[in-house]
Amino acid sequence: MKRNYLLILLLSLFTILGYAEEVCEINRPSIVERIENRTYPSVFGAWSHELLNYPRPDDIYEWSYYKEMLAHRDLYWGGANLGIQWRFLTLEGVKLVAAGALWLPIERKNQILSENPNYLHLIAVYYYGAHPLAYPEDWPYWLRDKSGSRVQDEGWSELLIDWTHPGAQDHFVQQAVAAAKCGIFDGIFLDWWSEEPQWDQEMADLYHGSKVDGLVSLVKRIREAVGDDFLIIVNTNTRKIPRSAPYVNGSFMETIGSIKGYSRERLIEIEDALSWYEENFRSPQVNCLEGSGIPSEPLDSPTNKQSARVFTTLSLTHSNGYVSFNTGIRGGNNHEHAYEIWEGHSQEHTRGGEHAHAEQYWYPFWDVNLGQPIGEKAQLYEDRDGLFIREFTNGWAVYNRSGTEQNVQLPMQAIGVASGITATQHTIPDLDGEMYLKTEVNADVNGDGVVNILDLVAVANAFGEAEPDLNDDGIVNIQDLVIVANAF
């Protein structure tokens, strides 16, 4: 997916400054700890920090608003920001410098971490294309047609770059190294990633070498240069990338839905790709699954809410990754809207200009704390095809694309986050998902103020009877005994 490059251009180009710029070379807190310590569901943001159901200020980069939007996410990427700017073509090579004093971006990152201690911030490296003014016209690494003219990306304003050229790769490895040295950033994001032969042949005669070989070489060189404690996420959609996998921490699964949403067959493809990434990418893994809403409906419509539940529970049952759900509206120079995304946005279209729509709606069920995963990934419930369940420390996630409504029996009472129903047996519609939070059970059966062997005896003596039925399944049995034993 492409994005408006004007902000990136403004941050990248510079004039002769009257003071010495501070190069960003600082330490970062542990990346692994922030990945391992977070709770689920875990939400990420790509490019757009705005949340459509939060008040939107005139200046969407006003710090209090920007900070709040970023802190909602556990992982986010965009261009150079937080007060850090690129310097692409200096005598010493690529640098990341502070827009003013270096203490300010450090303080800003610390403020976000104070609100969300597990927050990760990545920076995009645009190796495949750039704004026409980002580099000189005679820069040797622009992709050029047979007449020598620079090639513009179809539907977008940026010009393409020949990343297969060794000199271009040197430049982008320098960008990755600069990002790794700047502890504000925890990794890089690389768009446009494919190892498919058909894609390799598109405009192949204009590139210095094989596009696929170039990607593999680039990511391998970057990994060797930045080391292990630095994240690399690539946009694969749902393609498998066996040659790049050893160097990559995660995929941006930009699944791109249709005007009618996602079919069962498409969901199966997404599951298969996500499971492959979980099995094959390097640790620590940060796979990022993004669903798209039906573009003709607001993100809070019943259909889009259901789809968001599907993607959230698909991510929870099949990965230890992150999830996102955007408007589904395609961006670029020409696109239309079926509704006013935010007040005044239609006026932006009247004025013209390229932009995209990666904005999210913050669904209340993303505020739920399922804790951390206990169960295995991609486990079927009672071997029922298309019905998946996974236990977490505080509850369960269930995802249903079986083709029919399903009932699940949980081992204890739990409340459905979307349904609001507290029970041990729950019903889930087809092509839907639900999270269930465990409820407190009074295992002190004899009421003596402590759970001990006497409570176990009381339950054992009542086997087959109606009470004390701790899990509310209608009969006292071994499951009630387990509840008491776990409460010792």
Instruction: Give the model's confidence band at 485: pLDDT under 50 very low, under 70 low, under 90 confident, else very high.
Output: confident
Q: How confident is the model at residue 15, as a pLDDT? A: 36
Asked whether residue 330 carries a pLDDT value surpassing 50, the answer given is yes
- Give domain status of residue 399, yes or no: yes
Q: Which residue has the higher pLDDT, 11 or 391?
A: 391
What are 397-409's pLDDT values in tens digits?
999 999 999 999 9
**Pick from 41, 8, 3: which is nearest to 325 by CA?**
41
Residues 393, 262: one domain?
A: no
Range of the structural domain that residue 400 is part of? 387-438
Asked whether residue 63 is domain-assigned, the answer is: yes
Q: Cis omega (within 30 of 0) on the bond before 468? A: yes
Q: Tell whether 428 and 400 lie within a shared domain.
A: yes
Query: Does any domain span residue 380?
Result: no
Residues 358, 278, single domain; the answer is: yes
The more confidently predicted of residues 209 and 337 is: 209
Contact 127, 7 (CB under 8 A): no
**For the residues 331-337, what does the mean pLDDT come to?**
62
Q: With respect to residue 224, please indicate whether it lies within any of the assigned structural domains.
A: yes
Question: What is the structure's pLDDT at 458?
Answer: 81
* Cis amide prior to 284 (ω within 30 degrees): yes
Asked whether residue 447 is assigned to any structural domain, the reply reads no
Percent of the residues in the chain that have a pLDDT greater than 90, as a whole number: 74
- The pLDDT tens digits of the residues spanning 203-243 come to 999 999 999 999 999 999 999 999 999 999 999 999 999 99
Residues 346 and 464 in one domain: no
Do residue 351 and residue 393 come from a single domain? no
Averaged pLDDT, 196-201:
95
Q: Are 299 and 253 within one domain?
A: yes
Q: How many domains does the chain have?
A: 3
443, 450 Cβ separation under 8 angstroms = no
- Report the distance separating Cα 347 and Cα 345, nearest Å: 5
pLDDT score at 368:
97
Residue 456: band (very low, low, confident or very high) from pLDDT cuts 50, 70, 90: confident
Residue 6: which pLDDT band, with cuts at 50, 70 and 90? very low
- The strand pairing partners of 68, in sequence order, are none
CATH number at residue 434: 2.60.40.1180
Looking at the fold, whether 413 and 270 belong to one and the same domain comes out as: no
Closest CA to 53 of 293, 393, 275: 293
359/224 same-domain check: yes
- How high is the pLDDT of residue 358? 66
Nearest to 451 by CA among 412, 484, 477: 484
375 in any annotated domain? no
The residues with which 235 forms a beta bridge, in sequence order, are 252
pLDDT at residue 138 greater than cutoff 60:
yes
pLDDT higher than 60, residue 362? yes
- Does residue 352 share a domain with residue 291? yes
Query: In sequence order, what are the beta bridge partners of 75?
Result: 44, 120
